[in-house]
Structure 1
């Protein structure tokens, strides 16, 4: 139980069955149509980020590095607490000020619009490891990590993407505002402002400001990618051994997605794990804080009995009860 939150502040779900519609075959052999412009863009961004690491240790000012660490943290909250738990899974509700804050924080990451991110994530859960899953782990670690961005989508994924329920997103003014103005918000929030701020306030060079920021952008992207790849390939399955999602202990220190087996077993849980915090990102504590001040409410989570029963029924035997 989160500190200083009353029992009545939570919605206890006594029963939950994830709606998943597996398609067959899980991963047909197919020829990929490579999107060369995306390949070149991501190659440039990764090379630029590596150069940014070098500049961070050699010529960038300490204020630039610290500033970008804070930008990274803000972006991670925008993804984990925002587009993932709030908008993709509706694991809690947020008042307008928090929604606007999370939208702007998510816009820092460059990880597409909230609308597209949430739609794809719902596809991933509903059709996990089938041809309708945008980053199906059945096609291998590289594909599920970044390869899915480098090729045209499978026709089944395109079709199911048109059918998945996104009515709540279309009715959300914050989500639709970002979608409408993303062509302006994205370059402004991802590249322009994070580059100009160090240049204006502490006279950082353009190259240092831009490339050091790329380190944070690409680190955040690859942490998200690892949840799609590493957390579907390596680790234990304490809650459900019948799914590809795993509990990846090393990844859990960098992302709440490390507890991915739990998340796929209980996708409605705002915590994404049964643990009191999420190690480095602390996204659960972030939501708890805003629940205390009334900006977040209707927090959903799985009860200890639900968790223990699920682990006993479908787990791989590695589950150990966690007392919060």
Structure 2
């Protein structure tokens, strides 16, 4: 019997598959640096290698996407692209991201299959590849081991990382992140193996067929509208890696690059509250905001929780959030401001603001303690006390 791929808790492993000790047993691990050209003793100097095939693919995709503005198309074709774009966004946000990468909730087989189908629509690599890169990103955020290291600048973290070979540290340290929970799933292995053919069928052929043969639009209009839909979704996703690592507030942890960015939160279906997300990667809401505030993935997951298809929805408690804000936030959160108003005079409040916001430490200059970072629920580096404090909604029956 194949184990439930979303119910596996495992430890980080090295290149040979051996368990790597974590901070709890006092073993210090070797961690990557932020400057790609800052090599360690015995390492070869880093040389940037452009992957020209990817450059030409990206150039063609963007030119084909822009051509839609000079190609007349029917309203039905636009609506199909919008609908397909929404499904693809849920496939990434609710599927590859919150379910598979971070294990922030559990899904039954029906929901898993639906999300894999939706994720294929987005054309952002197979689920296994997407999750692998994302877990490494969280574990070694903004270092040379991060596939889209924001310390290397806006363009690199946005899309440049897709146009060149990975830094050696991405493979070296990434091999320590186990993917056993996904690689044991035959459906995900099938999607990974036949990804190109599945994309041609699901992401392109189906919407083009509907637009041309059912609604009578031209092939050119249907084709270029779908390429535009794909490229637009790429840039929204990439903006989480670039924009949300540069501009915005850091109300939960001021000493990391990820920020909370409203516009990205809105466009990316709730994925823009990135500072919160890097502090609590296992929270299924990816934000601490109430209700469905600019987070269109929460009602999607909640609907399937109501159906009984999604269970064990993990969430940070208000007390956990408040403590973290007061401990390490940048002072921009309403909790910080309310607390300051209670205790400080006007002059002291101004001093507090200057110290915490205007003169806060520069995350670009910090070397993080990676023993305190983890990719989500199941990473062996999560503190036991944090696991105990996690609020679980719709717990699995019998547990």
TM-score scaled by length of structure 2: 0.73
Partner in structure 2 of residue 249 of structure 1: 262
Query: Does the Cα contact within 8 Å between 2:150 and 2:242 map onto a contact in 1?
Result: yes
Query: Does the Cα contact within 8 Å between 1:23 and 1:131 map onto a contact in 2?
Result: no
Q: 2:34 aligns with which of 26, 41, 45?
A: 26
Query: Does the Cα contact within 8 Å between 1:124 and 1:133 map onto a contact in 2?
Result: yes
Query: Does the Cα contact within 8 Å between 1:22 and 1:130 map onto a contact in 2?
Result: no
1:191 deviates by 1.9
User: Any stretches of 5+ residues in structure 1 without a counterpart?
Assistant: 1-16
Query: Does the Cα contact within 8 Å between 1:34 and 1:151 map onto a contact in 2?
Result: yes
Partner in structure 2 of residue 37 of structure 1: 53
Rounded to whole Å, the distance in 2 between the matches of 1:23 and 1:159 is: 10
Rounded to whole Å, the distance in 1 between the matches of 2:194 and 2:100 is: 18
Query: Does the Cα contact within 8 Å between 1:252 and 1:278 map onto a contact in 2?
Result: no
1:43 deviates by 0.9
1:308 pairs with 2:316: no
Query: Does the Cα contact within 8 Å between 1:52 and 1:213 map onto a contact in 2?
Result: no
Q: How many pairs are equivalent? A: 301
Partner in structure 2 of residue 100 of structure 1: 113
1:127 pairs with 2:127: no
Query: Does the Cα contact within 8 Å between 2:265 and 2:273 map onto a contact in 1?
Result: yes
Rounded to whole Å, the distance in 2 between the matches of 1:24 and 1:117 is: 21
Rounded to whole Å, the distance in 1 between the matches of 2:81 and 2:263 is: 23
1:18 deviates by 11
- Between 1:206-215 and 1:30-39, the stretch displaced more is 30-39
Partner in structure 1 of residue 7 of structure 2: none
Rounded to whole Å, the distance in 1 between the matches of 2:225 and 2:301 is: 29
1:156 pairs with 2:169: yes
1:214 deviates by 1.1
- Between 1:145-154 and 1:168-177, the stretch displaced more is 168-177
Deviations 1:188-240 (A, max 9, x none): 12222221221110111110000011111011111100000000011110000
Rounded to whole Å, the distance in 1 between the matches of 2:107 and 2:33 is: 39
Rounded to whole Å, the distance in 1 between the matches of 2:100 and 2:80 is: 27
1:277 pairs with 2:295: no
Q: 1:265 aligns with which of 270, 279, 286?
A: 279
SS in 2 for 1:300: strand
Partner in structure 2 of residue 287 of structure 1: 301
Query: Does the Cα contact within 8 Å between 1:99 and 1:174 map onto a contact in 2?
Result: no
Q: 2:97 aligns with which of 81, 84, 88?
A: 84
Partner in structure 2 of residue 144 of structure 1: 157
Between structure 1 and structure 2, the one with the greater Rg is 2
Rounded to whole Å, the distance in 1 between the matches of 2:246 and 2:51 is: 25
1:116 pairs with 2:129: yes
Rounded to whole Å, the distance in 1 between the matches of 2:200 and 2:23 is: 37
Partner in structure 2 of residue 165 of structure 1: 178
Partner in structure 2 of residue 5 of structure 1: none
- Between 1:182-191 and 1:210-219, the stretch displaced more is 182-191
